[in-house]
Amino acid sequence: MKKICGLTIDEAIHDRLLKVEPSKKDRDYDQVLYKVSIRNLDGWFGTKQVLKNINLDIKSNVATAIIGPSGCGKTTLIRCLNRMHEMTPGATAKGRVMIDDIDIYDKAIDPVIIKRRVGMVFQKPNPFPTMSIYDNVAAGLKLNGIKDKRLINDIVEESLKDAALWDEVKNELDKPGMGLSGGQQQRLCIARALAMQPEVLLMDEPTSALDPIASSKIEELVHELKKELTIINVTHNMTQAARVSDFTAFMYLGELIEYGPTDQIFKNPQKELTERYISGKFG
């Protein structure tokens, strides 16, 4: 059975994931080998090209770190994976990004629906300021039209448990989300993303605003979460990349320089540029 973002083609059309005519649904999709495949992806801010011909294949249920100096396009790259990049005025992207076997840049695809399947956690914790802890986690479901209260309750509890926050907040679910500490807020944001049941979770330097203890909690989480989903983690912190990721991609000036198993990238990089960056000679 061909699947798109975990749905059969019929379900996808029913969910308005695909706007194609039913007659076209039997398109011959290649067999899925990778969860995410990026092909010839270029990205621009106005006339400035920030991504240059990126090609990258990411396997299912692994954690991939994207490292590189500031301004190298790491964040832009992951923002292209849920079509968030183009929401910045003037930003454009061209190329193919396959998630399972669907090209999310296909004209038939509604970008809003892609975001429900590809979760995102941001650099700074950004819980919804007017909402309680409960509502922060439930917001994605409620605002996407899910009304079944018992289902929502179950998912909120499950997501908070998966984000390792449940024990800390289970007695104060109606307190404001903004009242939590920075590390707790970031885990709340992870729970909020998990509530949408994504298959890919994009993390944009999720620990850069956190202290070491809060950071290590998020790192432990990545280990747990990748059993369920595919994680792509942008980071400045190379020891973190080495600790949490199975694969590492090194980017420099908008280009993907080297990509491979984390061990290989850190112990035996093939490119001189990677070696110099890893050993702290620049960046």
* Interface contacts to other proteins, rule CB under 8 A: 82, 84, 87, 89, 112-117, 119-120, 122, 124, 126-132, 134-135, 138-140, 142-145, 147, 174, 176, 189, 192-193, 196
Measured from the CB atom, is 167 or 174 closer to other proteins?
174
Q: How far is the CB of 62 from other proteins (least distance, A)?
A: 21
Measured from the CB atom, is 109 or 238 closer to other proteins?
109
**Cβ within 8 Å of residue 127, ≥6 positions away:** 136, 177, 178, 180, 185, 188, 189, 192
Residue whose token pair is 């986690």: 137
Closest CA to 121 of 72, 186, 212: 186
Measured from the CB atom, is 6 or 22 closer to other proteins?
6
Rounded Cα–Cα distance for residues 160 and 246 (Å): 25
| CA dihedral angle for residue 122, residue 250, residue 115, residue 125, rounded to 10 degrees | -10
Structure tokens at 86: 């183009």
Residue whose token pair is 């998020």: 218
Q: How far is the CB of 166 from other proteins (least distance, A)?
A: 17
Rounded Cα–Cα distance for residues 218 and 233 (Å): 11
Measured from the CB atom, is 205 or 258 closer to other proteins?
205
Rounded Cα–Cα distance for residues 187 and 181 (Å): 10
Q: How far is the CB of 28 from other proteins (least distance, A)?
A: 28
Measured from the CB atom, is 134 or 277 closer to other proteins?
134
Q: How far is the CB of 61 from other proteins (least distance, A)?
A: 21
Q: How far is the CB of 121 from other proteins (least distance, A)?
A: 8
